[in-house]
Amino acid sequence: AANELDDNQWPALFEVVFGPAESLEELVTEQRIAFAIGEYERSQLFINTPWSAYVKGDETAISDAAKRGAQLFYTSYEDGGANCVKCHLGDFFTDEGFHVLAVPQIGPGKGDGVTGTDDYGRFRVTRQLADLYAFRTPSLLNVTVTGPWGHDGAYTTLEGTVRHMLNPVDAATNFAWDGLDPYIQQEYGPANTAKAVRRLQYNRQRG
């Protein structure tokens, strides 16, 4: 590994950032590599979008249809909107929180449940029942190119994803399992999804 590092520019660059070290192994460590990559990824957040231009005063930056969509996005349920902003807020359109939305449980899962095909979401970390099937709110920046959508890619269209968010119970209950790629594990999908729906309904009843 040291010979490979001698052939590139890492030592010089790492010294600029982290300062000198007694050896190459102490200078270029796994922790420092992870930190450097993390800082690079953080620098790649682009918010120079039509929406940001519109917010700054350019009323021609988005279409009339997009403006109507924004009204629904930012308006509460009580006032006839979709209340998307409850979770998708701020410059990055995420509250960084975890929520139970009963997205259909397709694919191999994470080894959870009796069959080992389920994914318990945030519960895997916290062991709190309220976090069972809870998944992190994703950013909506560049959302049109980040599909498929849902924690497991259950939806292949943004329209389908939005419809699910508007009525998760109905969407999960009526999910078109026969429309999935036959190579995707779905034998236990309906049963796992039904559990997620029950957790969502329970959480709602609890407020």
Cis geometry, peptide bond prior to residue 108 (ω within 30 degrees of 0): no
Q: H or E element: which one contains 159?
A: helix 158-166
Task: Report the alpha-carbon distance of residue 190 to residue 116 in Å, rounded.
Answer: 14
pLDDT band at 3 (very low <50, low <70, confident <90, very high): low
Q: 74-132, pLDDT tens digit by residue?
A: 999 999 999 999 999 998 899 999 999 999 999 999 999 999 999 999 999 999 999 99
Domain range summary for the chain, segments of one domain joined by +:
2-43, 87-205
Task: Report the alpha-carbon distance of residue 50 to residue 160 in Å, rounded.
Answer: 23
User: Token pair for residue 100?
Assistant: 């139970």
Q: What is the pLDDT of residue 28?
A: 87
Q: 22-31, pLDDT tens digit by residue?
A: 998 898 898 9
87-205: CATH topology is Cytochrome Bc1 Complex; Chain D, domain 2 (1.10.760)
Q: 25-70, pLDDT tens digit by residue?
A: 898 898 988 888 888 777 766 677 899 899 999 999 999 999 999 9
User: Token pair for residue 84?
Assistant: 């998307």
Question: What is the amino acid identity at position 171?
Answer: A
pTM (two decimals): 0.76
Which one is predicted more confidently, 159 or 142?
159
